[in-house]
Structure 1
């Protein structure tokens, strides 16, 4: 009898959730201890305790909050879901959400100091550059116009090492076309030109990669 119960528990454990991500923790009281390292469907084994999947906090990784007051955002409100996922993914525990967001949020900053460059967001001479390098900070995810930068090209010098840049939901259409348009195959054949990167720096600290 005892053996049959043991084998039953082993069978149960083998067919239930065994996924545990390093760095995860449970933000609420667990229901029970894990069963041989596993938990029922809807629960995850965290620190040998079965935590409801809704209470599992995943490690942030590259996940970022784009607002300073994300603690005041109603993460679980139906009307705020997309806003929360786009702007407060880390605080709202949505870092691993596979759901895409609306175009107005579908872009990311390519520089780490965009917050220090906000004075250039609406500067007619710099708005195209900001739409490429700091669109999230400047709310330029929908930016289409191009004044100083070619409508399509390889403004970025490292397109081949940017992973899924060409297909990522977090890269705006403008960033794809202007940043790596030729590499991504977004430019017409008639407008393609050989690209030779030449790095220059202006007084604001931008690195410009131009054509020779």
Structure 2
């Protein structure tokens, strides 16, 4: 075996140490140190766009996961005092799309539409507020919405519940969104009929009979 061939085999062996396949849409938020070696990179790096990206810099797509600030690149994602803020406002840039840690209640929801900023006039409209709480709760500040206007219908209002990944367990989705948006899929809708109150006969201190409810 020639020296060149031995070197090539060794190089391929090193590159094969890391050959993870990321979901489409993954990108590297840091500067690459080298091009990929036949689609692979050394241990600790991943091949993203034919560039060896440090595992710490690989940002995965997170479905509805998004950044809510325009300057998330300036947020210190790993700073202890910034964790809650980063998770709530810069989850995509900070690679926290799949984080299961809790977020502050006012941030515990995600806009499901891209044009929510153009619909703000409907945020407090009594006829549309329930719908806005489902599709644009972050923009409308409705993360804690409990449907004060009427009892919400539990069910699958969203058409793609089966393919929404961790929608049912995500901390970035409000309880209202889970219940009304994908309540059946998330197992939040009780199929059992409500039990009527039991009617009983009672007597008051004067001995009169009256109907009451237990």
User: Which TM-score tier does this pair reach, normalised by the shorter chain?
Assistant: 0.5 to 0.7
Q: Which residue among 115, 135, 138 is the counterpart of 1:136?
A: 138
Deviation per residue, 1:110-132 (Å, 9 max, x gap): 33332123344456665433322
Query: Number of paired residues?
Result: 187
What secondary structure, in the 3-state scheme, does the structure 2 residue paired with 1:94 have?
coil
Q: Which residue among 74, 77, 88 is the counterpart of 2:76?
A: 74
Cα shift at 1:62: 5.4
* Unaligned segments of structure 1, at least 5 residues: 192-212
Q: Matches of 1:166 and 1:36 in 2, distance apart?
A: 36
Deviation per residue, 1:148-181 (Å, 9 max, x gap): 3324423726366664476241432112223343
Q: Matches of 2:15 and 2:94 in 1, distance apart?
A: 27
Q: TM-score, normalised by structure 1?
A: 0.64
Distance 1:125 1:17, change over 3 A: same
Q: Matches of 2:144 and 2:40 in 1, distance apart?
A: 45
Q: Which residue among 55, 78, 81 is the counterpart of 1:53?
A: 55
Q: Matches of 1:36 and 1:47 in 2, distance apart?
A: 12
Is 1:156 paired with 2:154? no
Match of 1:198 in 2: none
Q: Matches of 2:173 and 2:31 in 1, distance apart?
A: 35
Match of 1:167 in 2: 168
Match of 2:10 in 1: 8
Q: Which has the larger radius of gyration?
A: 2
* Unaligned segments of structure 2, at least 5 residues: 195-214
Q: Show the 5 A alignment for 1:78-157.
A: 78-90=80-92, 92-94=93-95, 97-103=97-103, 104=105, 105-122=107-124, 126-143=128-145, 145-154=146-155, 156=157
- The answer on whether the counterparts of 2:32 and 2:51 sit within 8 Å (CA) in structure 1 is no
